[in-house]
Amino acid sequence: MQNRFPLSPFTFPFLLALDVDGTLARPDGTISQRTVDVVKALQRSGAVLCIASGRPPLGIRPVAELLGMDEYGGYIIGYNGGVLMEHSTGKMLYTASLPDEALPVVVECGRRQGHTMLTYVGDEICTEKVSDSYVQISHRRNGMPIREVADFMALPRPLPKCIITGDPCDMPALQREVSARLYGIADAYLSEAYFLEVVRCGIDKADALSRLLDHLGLTHRNLIAAGDGHNDMGMIRLASHGIAMANAHPDVRKVADIIAPPASEDGLAQVLESFFRGPKPPFVIP
């Protein structure tokens, strides 16, 4: 573990915001028992857990259950900030959809360059190409069925977000094009090297967390956040203790207060244990 910047003191109670893929989850998609145990212990001690992911809420639910949120409560941020909800009740605190005028640009750019698009309708992944290897990654991660559609433009709107998939070598140039063409309407950023996410302008995990902090009567001084992707940079900056995984993109590591060991080594668990089992911990994990 490496501390990059001076850390401000914790303010209690605190909100613990955790990304899933590449942060909580190891490269094979599993979450270790060590990580489960430390996150549950923090909740028993009074931490409020928020799982903040680009996944749809249905794909986050098994993670929330594994981490004990059925017992302790907590919150889910899905679609990279497009949805904020209470886990235990399913009550929506905030939702934001992709503007309808963004969809033709997404489809035109994707088709012209031979990429595949996917989105989420209800509890299904919708795409024009079920066999796409990157669509299959979304299927495995979220445990959601895939529905093949003849025309992406014919999907019912509004949509929560769209993802353009493709070879990582092609995606930075595509991101620049889509961002320029949708300036002021939608934002496009890479949640993975092969996933270009397109969401309503201004929507990200940091925006949703700011809304949640207001809802809870807390401030950024009450926030610890951990992630590994470009879509985590805002919440890492926002937090009093922003954690980037060693497997994160260099841009993400630059804005973090703490660089954790990689997810393959249970790096998040190591950092959380060091916080609360140090020489003078704020409280002791049971």
* The pLDDT value given to residue 9: 53
User: For the residues 79-84, what does the mean pLDDT come to?
Assistant: 95
Q: In whole angstroms, give the CA distance from residue 108 to residue 142.
A: 26
91 shares a domain with 121: no
In a domain, 284, yes or no: no
Range of the domain at 25: 12-96+203-276
In a domain, 114, yes or no: yes
In a domain, 281, yes or no: no
Which residues make Cβ contacts (< 8 Å) with residue 17, sequence separation at least 6?
50, 51, 52, 77, 205, 209, 223, 224, 225, 226, 235, 239
In a domain, 35, yes or no: yes
Whether residue 237 contacts residue 254, with contact meaning beta carbons closer than 8 Å, is answered with: no
Q: Which residues pair with 198 in a beta bridge?
A: 162, 188
In a domain, 66, yes or no: yes
Which residues make Cβ contacts (< 8 Å) with residue 187, sequence separation at least 6?
179, 198, 199, 200, 201, 202, 203, 204
In this model, does residue 2 exceed pLDDT 90?
no
Q: In whole angstroms, give the CA distance from residue 132 to residue 165.
A: 9
> Which among 146, 179, 200 is the end of a domain?
200
Residues 166-184 have pLDDT tens digits of: 999 999 999 999 999 999 9
Q: Indicate the helix (H) or strand (E) that contains 126.
A: strand 124-127
Whether residue 244 contacts residue 259, with contact meaning beta carbons closer than 8 Å, is answered with: yes
pTM over 0.85: yes
185 shares a domain with 51: no
210 shares a domain with 183: no
Domain containing residue 187: CATH number: 3.30.1240.10
Whether residue 53 contacts residue 60, with contact meaning beta carbons closer than 8 Å, is answered with: yes
Domain containing residue 219: CATH number: 3.40.50.1000
The model's confidence at residue 277, banded by pLDDT at 50, 70 and 90, is low
In a domain, 216, yes or no: yes
In a domain, 266, yes or no: yes
In a domain, 6, yes or no: no
* The pLDDT value given to residue 275: 79
Q: Which residue has the higher pLDDT, 19 or 277?
A: 19
